[in-house]
Every structure is written in structure tokens, then in C-alpha cells.
Amino acid sequence: MEPVVELKHITHVYVSDREASLALDGLDLRVYPGEFVSLVGPSGCGKTTLLSIIAGLMKPTKGEVLVYGRKVDGPTAEVGYMLQQDYLFPWRTIFENASIGLELTGRLNQEHLARTTALLEEMGLAEARDLYPQQLSGGMRQRVALVRTLTTDPGLLLLDEPFSALDYQTKLQLEDLIAGTLREKNKTAILVTHDLSEAAAVSDRVIVLGSRPGKIRKSFEVPDHIRSARPLLAREQTGFNELFHDIWREMESAADKE
Amino acid sequence: MSALDSRIGASTPALPEDGIQALHAAHLKRKKRQRLQVFSVQMAILLLFFAFWEIAGRLKWIDVLLFSYPSKVFAQIGKDIASGELWGHLGITVGETVVGFLLGTLLGTLIAVLIWWSPFLSKVLDPYMVVFNSMPKVALGPIFIVMFGAGFLSITVTTLSITVIVTTLVVYNSFCEVDANLIKVVRVFGGTRTQVFSKVILPASFPTIISTLKVNVGMAWVGVIVGEFLVAKMGLGYLIIYGFQVFNFTLVLSSLVIIAVVATGMYQLVVYVERKLLTHRR
């Protein structure tokens, strides 16, 4: 099977006036269609850098990124990106916010607008259509951000800690919703998070990165019965705690090495 | 009521609904009374000031030639209105001010766009902007007069010199302060720099641009009046300088009163427009 994302020996150096520092050191990764992969690691392991490189927002200093077999050269609508917060535009209504991707990619037609409406309904946001972001709760706003990402129908989603700014209950609900939606629509996803239990609950594979410079330390396959359960219930499956502790230990030793 | 009742949220609330309503009504009443008090004191100060001025003038406590007094000032205004002489002066001054602050805001914003577009240009222009911003622009008045002639054009240019640079600096600053993550939202969809500007930078800075409009109203009045001092043959600034030269201070003061009224009106109009345009903002 051809991978959706293929990273070939990615190396990235950040250059500033003071110094040049190695952020990623020869990283190889393949993500296959329909897979949900989480990247965890101590701060400074280059998780977000990696995501930006896959999204085409940044060019790696060395190495090659292939998405759907094509070399990445700038952001495209095939790849969706969800940020740490919703970052909805306060001057646009919910519908206008949700459809901005269509506007930017020149697909503001009847068919796509109808799809946007359907997506908003699916996320329980039909009522909010003509409201402004500041009238919505944090959880609702992040759901709008999900709709915004999905309108252009990307095959691959990059999730940059999209749950980190939410309160615990909303976070659990949204994990369920997003993981469920992506699975149902058969999307491929890469999630960056610092929450190990979240990573273990939503993913098919959890990858632990080491820091300074960032590289892959270990990859954990999530057992079938845990990954088939909804994230909220996955946390109660047998073996979940063991998996959590294995990832935890790997993280600890990654942090110790600094 | 037992302790248990209150813990589980018993059915009878400690305060009935109409009791809560009454509290709200009392609060509104208190607010209204306070507003009324403030307003009465404000009016009293104004009336006392004019009354004292009038009495002081009529009883010759102050030099009437220099300070005039309200009934003379308002009679002057009435006479100017009746003879229709006021409208020409008022129209010219208001025209110059409106052109000055609208054009100043527009030009300042355009320059801000230009230097946002080209970081290189922004770096190159930086020291020039600092020098020009630090300069008292009205000092350039004589230069403008020889360049643009003694009239409407040089007064407008004097006004622009005051409004443009400040606008550029403030608006450019607000362009740069737009949250990088909002820009990222556009960039991840493959948005171009033009799209980043039109979809994020400009709408995000819109409140700042509108508020520079408000600042520029005040600035434009300074520019216009100074400009008229220097060259005009028409306008409220001209009336002030003319009144001064012929020692008719009633004319000077009546012009000042008109300027106060019209400038306030113009400012309030901009505040109103701002409120209308920004209803959905934070």
C-alpha cells in the first residue's frame, strides 16, 4: 500500500542571529491511508516543526516529504490543518468562517456550500450558522474549526494539539467527535499532543520523539480492541493502562537524556 | 428550612422572583438618578461660566475689548448667520477638514499597506519616518505655501502632513500585530499573500483604521486652522486671525465657539459611524 505521508530523512535547522540549532535529525516516517498516528514527546522535540513541514508551511533543510506520492511544495487543500485554538475570524459569521477554505481555493459553489451546511448540521452547529464566534463556547468554536478544515475535503489531517485549550469534559467529547468523524470519513490523521492518554486513546500508532534534536525513539502499535473503541471508552479497556505506562516510561527516558 | 433542604436546592428559593426583579429595577433607577445628577452638574457649570462671563463683562471686571461677553458673541454669530456670511467660512473650513482627515487616513493606510507588502521598503523607510514623525509638521507650512500656492491646496497639504505619518505608523503597527495564527489559517489552505492581506490583515486592522479616523479628526482641525492662519482669505481660522488683526475679539471668540461646536459634532459623527461599523466586533 502506498503511504499517504512519506518522510525521507528529514533534517531541519533553525537559523537565528544568535545561533543555528538542529531541530530534527534525519527523521523517517510513513503514514498509511486511514491511519491515525500520534506524535508525542518532550517540549523541543520538534513535533510542531514536523507538522509544519508536512503541511508545506516550512521547507526542511534536508530530506524529502512526499504526500500522496508527490513532493510537497507549499500548502495545498489536500492537507487539512487544525491549530491549537480555533482561530475563527471574529468579523465573520460561523458559516463564513466555516467556508473560508472554499473561498481561498476558489470553490465557493452551490455544491460545496451545501456540503458545508451539512457538515455544520452534523456537528450540531446548524443553529449557530449566522452567529459570530464570540457568541459560542470553546468546544463549539473548535467544532467550527473542524468543519472549516473538512470543507475542502482533505485526505490527510494534521492536528496540532487541537484539544489543548479546552476544559477536560469538552476535550473528551471533542476527542470522540473528531476521532469518530475522521474514522467514518476514512481520513488519515497525524496528531501532535502532549497528553499521553489522549494519544493512546485516539490513535492506531503512537510515536515517541526524543528531543534536541528531534528524532523517533520508539513507535507503539495500539492493540485492536483499544483502537476500535471510542476514545472515551478506550481508556477503560484492558491493556490501556499498560500501554499508557509503556509510553510514559519511554517519554521519561527521553526527557532524562537531556 | 433545614440544612439538608438548602443543600439539595430546595423548591422555595431564598428570594422570590419578583424580589429579584425589584432589585434590578432599583439598580436601574439608581443608575438613572446618577446620570441625571452628572448631567445637571455639567449644565450648571456651563451656565455658571457663561453667566459669570456675562456679568464680569457688563460690570467691566474684565476688559470687554479683549474678552467680550456671551451676549455679544452670540449676537455676532446670529448676525453672521442672518447675513449668510458664516456659511462660506464654515463650508471652506469644514471642507478642508473633511478632505484632510479622510484623505489623510486613506493615504496613511495605503502607505502602511505598501510597507507591509515589502519588508525591505519598510526597513529602508524607517529612519525617514522617524525623522518626519518627530518633526513639528506645521513648521513646513511656508514650504507648502511656496510649493502649492496660498490657498486650499497648501492648507490641505499641511493637514495631510500632520495626519498621514501618524496614520501610517499606527496602521502598519496594527498590521504587524495581527495574530500569526490567523494568518496560518489562510496559509494552510494555500492562501496567497494577497489573500492573507484581504482576508485577515485588513479586516483584523479595520477597528484600528476606524479609530485613527477619530484621532485624525482632531489632527485635521489643527492643520486646517494653522493653515488658514498662514494663508487663507476664507474660513474660520481666517476669521480668527482677521478678528485679531482688527482687534475684534468678539469675532475671534464667536469663531472659537463655532469651531468647538462643529468639531465636536464631526467627532461624534465619526464615533457613531465607528459604532455602526464595528457592531459585531469584540
Put simply, the answer to whether A83 touches B185 (Cβ < 8 Å) is yes
| Whole-number pLDDT of residue A258 | 55
User: Are A23 and A52 found together in one domain?
Assistant: yes
Q: Which of A81, A85, A132 sits opposite B188 (nearest CB)?
A: A81
Give strand pairing partners of A7: A29, A65
- Find the mean pLDDT for residues A65-74: 84
User: Are A144 and A159 found together in one domain?
Assistant: no
Confidence of residue A209 (pLDDT cuts 50, 70, 90): confident
> Measured between CB atoms, does A80 come within 8 Å of chain B?
yes
| Whole-number pLDDT of residue A60 | 87
User: Are A48 and A120 found together in one domain?
Assistant: no
pLDDT greater at residue A67 or residue A227:
A67
Chain B residues lying within 8 Å of A80, measured CB to CB: 188
Q: A154 is written with which cell numbers?
A: 482533505
In a domain, A84, yes or no: no
User: Are A56 and A43 found together in one domain?
Assistant: yes
pLDDT greater at residue B73 or residue A217:
B73
Task: Provide the number of structural domains found in chain A.
Answer: 2
User: Are A143 and A161 found together in one domain?
Assistant: no
pLDDT greater at residue A76 or residue B251:
B251
Task: Please check the confidence at residue B35 and state whether its pLDDT lies above 90.
Answer: yes
- Find the mean pLDDT for residues B129-153: 87
> How far is it, in rounded angstroms, from Cα A175 to Cα B51?
72
pLDDT digits (tens, 9 = 90+) for B78-100: 998 999 888 999 999 999 999 99
User: Are A247 and A174 found together in one domain?
Assistant: yes
Confidence of residue B282 (pLDDT cuts 50, 70, 90): very low
Least confident of A10-24, A185-199, B4-18, B105-119: B4-18
In a domain, A83, yes or no: no
Task: Please check the confidence at residue B3 and state whether its pLDDT lies above 50.
Answer: no
Task: Please check the confidence at residue A191 and state whether its pLDDT lies above 80.
Answer: yes
Task: Please check the confidence at residue B6 and state whether its pLDDT lies above 50.
Answer: no
> How far is it, in rounded angstroms, from Cα B154 to Cα B229?
12
Q: A17 is written with which cell numbers?
A: 542571529
Restricting to A residues 7-66, those with a Cβ less than 8 Å away from any Cβ of B are: 55, 57
Confidence of residue B11 (pLDDT cuts 50, 70, 90): low
> Measured between CB atoms, does B120 come within 8 Å of chain A?
no
| Whole-number pLDDT of residue B280 | 62
User: Are A192 and A240 found together in one domain?
Assistant: yes
- State pTM to two decimals: 0.81
Instruction: Write out the residue range of the structural domain in which residue A118 sits.
Output: 90-153
What ipTM describes this predicted complex? 0.85
pLDDT greater at residue A222 or residue A25:
A25
> Measured between CB atoms, does A135 come within 8 Å of chain B?
no
Task: Please check the confidence at residue B5 and state whether its pLDDT lies above 60.
Answer: no
The count of other CB atoms within 10 Å of the CB of residue B162 is 26
Report how far apart, in Å, the C-alpha atoms of B110 and of each of A32, A83, B115, B122, B221 are. Answer: 48, 32, 9, 13, 22
Grid cell 499532543 is found at A193
